[in-house]
Amino acid sequence: MAVYQQPDERGHFGDYGGRFVAETLIPALDELQQAYKAAQRDPAFQAELHSELRQFVGRPNPLYHAQRLSSEIGGAQIYLKREDLNHTGAHKINNAVGQALLARRMGKRRLIAETGAGQHGVATATVATRYGMDCVVFMGEDDIQRQSSNVYRMRLLGAQVEAVRSGSRTLKDALNEALRDWVSNVEDTFYVIGTVAGPHPYPEMVRNFHRVIGDEARAQCLELTGRLPDACVACVGGGSNAMGLFYPFIDDQAVRLIGVEAAGLGLGTGKHAAPLTAGRPGVLHGNRTYLMTDENGQIEATHSISAGLDYPGVGPEHAYLKDTGRAEYVAVTDAEALAAFHRLSRVEGIIPALETSHALAYAFQLAAQMRVEQSIVVSLSGRGDKDIHTVAALEGIHL
């Protein structure tokens, strides 16, 4: 059986990925790629990463059998991979720790990051403090308004939060601004990209730092059920938690891999963030992938109830997995996600992030069509504390 080996040397996942950046950024990417390759082969680096994931992040986290929920639905057994129990409350920290250790190894003293909802910004601010580095987080001005508590968390952690006023003032513009900062300060600065997008080697590197999600889930599922799950489900914005979960299962052809995008107000309304479901291939932020773009090639504004999925692109490996048919991609509306948010909170005592709620909403539908002896692993990518203001406001409650 063919063993999955992507990307190629130059970061291509089939037609996707690669490096589409200004010439001025190439040396920084070359330096990063060499340092990352060396770190991958260095047992001391791997040992330190492993130790940090245990001691600082709190891994391994459980694969939790949501029994009440499964029996309420009456179909497949639902298992939740509890990334929400990580330090800082989401999967993002896995990658932030990995990249910060790499930055330290490269002698960089300053970390920069882009953030939308603020989870990746918080994770980067956290590791910068942990390793004694300076940290600047770029965040769209509109997101700063929407996610004020995470802005405050980043500042508590000692990070400087830079408001981005260009373009649509959201995540994509924060990414542009971080790239501009990096290219201007490359000697002492490491750019911690928060998802499986960007120019090579980021999509591969970020996936590899998150594969611990799938590696643990696979072993835990075998231990708990004696076999592999029938399906893995994860939400997809840029797609980092999904790639982390999917990757170790790619060669297990019998395991369905399902990524859930944000359908926002509905795919037909145009107000969504579902490039794989409703977009087309193009080039943005250093890689070729599926994008939301208008007929003139301009990147379109996105909408999702969850700031973390509010991104017009997606990691190039997802684009490849879609085209090859190895993974399936679906989309869930704001309303469906919100219902799942409440259901998990009320049935299992776990408040999920709104991003994660998209994966849950689809998993609930899927489970209902499956048999009780089957199983689904859902990436519970983050906890929902950060979203309670958003949800309360929708119900007319002002906290």
Partner 1 sequence: MSRLAAMFSRLQESHRTALIPFLTAGDPSTTGVVALLHSLVRAGADAIELGVPFSDPMADGPVIQGSSERALARGVSLRQVLAWVRDFRRQDQDTPIILMGYLNPIEILGMRHFAEEAADAGVDAVIVVDLTPEEAETDTALLRQAGIDPIFLLAPTSGPQRVAAVKRLGSGFVYYVSLRGITGAQQQDWDEVVARVAELRRELAMPMAIGFGIRDAATAKRLAGKADAVVIGSALVQLLQQAKDDEDAQRLASEFLAPIRAVLDEELGA
Catalytic residues: 92, 114, 381
Instruction: Give the interface size with partner 1 as a residue count (CB under 8 A).
Output: 35
Amino acid at 305: I
132, exposed or middle or buried, with CB in 10 Å at 0-12, 13-18, 19+?
exposed
Amino acid at 188: D
Q: By CB under 8 A, is residue 278 in contact with partner 1?
A: no
Nearer to partner 1, 31 or 215 (CB): 31
Amino acid at 78: I
Separation between Cα atoms, residue 234 and residue 329, nearest integer Å: 10
Separation between Cα atoms, residue 327 and residue 233, nearest integer Å: 10
Report, in Å, the least distance between residue 348 CB and partner 1: 40
Separation between Cα atoms, residue 223 and residue 388, nearest integer Å: 35
Nearer to partner 1, 315 or 382 (CB): 315
User: Binding pattern to partner 1, positions 26-65, x when CB under 8 A?
Assistant: xx--------------------------------------
Q: By CB under 8 A, is residue 21 in contact with partner 1?
A: yes
Q: By CB under 8 A, is residue 343 in contact with partner 1?
A: no
Report, in Å, the least distance between residue 280 CB and partner 1: 9
**Contact pick of 295, 395, 396, 399 for partner 1 (by CB under 8 A):** 295
Q: By CB under 8 A, is residue 20 in contact with partner 1?
A: yes
**Contact pick of 299, 314, 332, 376 for partner 1 (by CB under 8 A):** 299
**Contact pick of 130, 267, 282, 374 for partner 1 (by CB under 8 A):** 282
Nearer to partner 1, 176 or 374 (CB): 176
**CA nearest neighbour of 20 among 281, 272, 277, 210:** 281
User: Binding pattern to partner 1, positions 168-207, x when CB under 8 A?
Assistant: x---xx-xx--xx--xx-x---------------------
Separation between Cα atoms, residue 370 and residue 152, nearest integer Å: 44
Q: What share of the chain is helix, strand, coil (3-state, %, to 5)?
A: 50, 20, 30
Report, in Å, the least distance between residue 164 CB and partner 1: 11
Count of beta carbons in the 10 Å neighbourhood of residue 390: 18
User: Binding pattern to partner 1, positions 225-264, x when CB under 8 A?
Assistant: ----------------------------------------
Token pair in block for residue 275: 């490039």
Separation between Cα atoms, residue 128 and residue 391, nearest integer Å: 31
**CA nearest neighbour of 336 among 358, 308, 355:** 358
Q: By CB under 8 A, is residue 292 in contact with partner 1?
A: no
- Nearest-5° Cα angle at 193, 190 to 197: 135
Quick one: which segment of 71-79, 165-173, 237-245, 320-328 binds partner 1 (CB under 8 A)?
A: 165-173
- Nearest-5° Cα angle at 387, 383 to 388: 105
Task: Summarize as ranges the residues that interact with partner 1 (CB under 8 A).
Answer: 10, 18-27, 166-168, 172-173, 175-176, 179-180, 183-184, 186, 282-286, 291, 293, 295-299
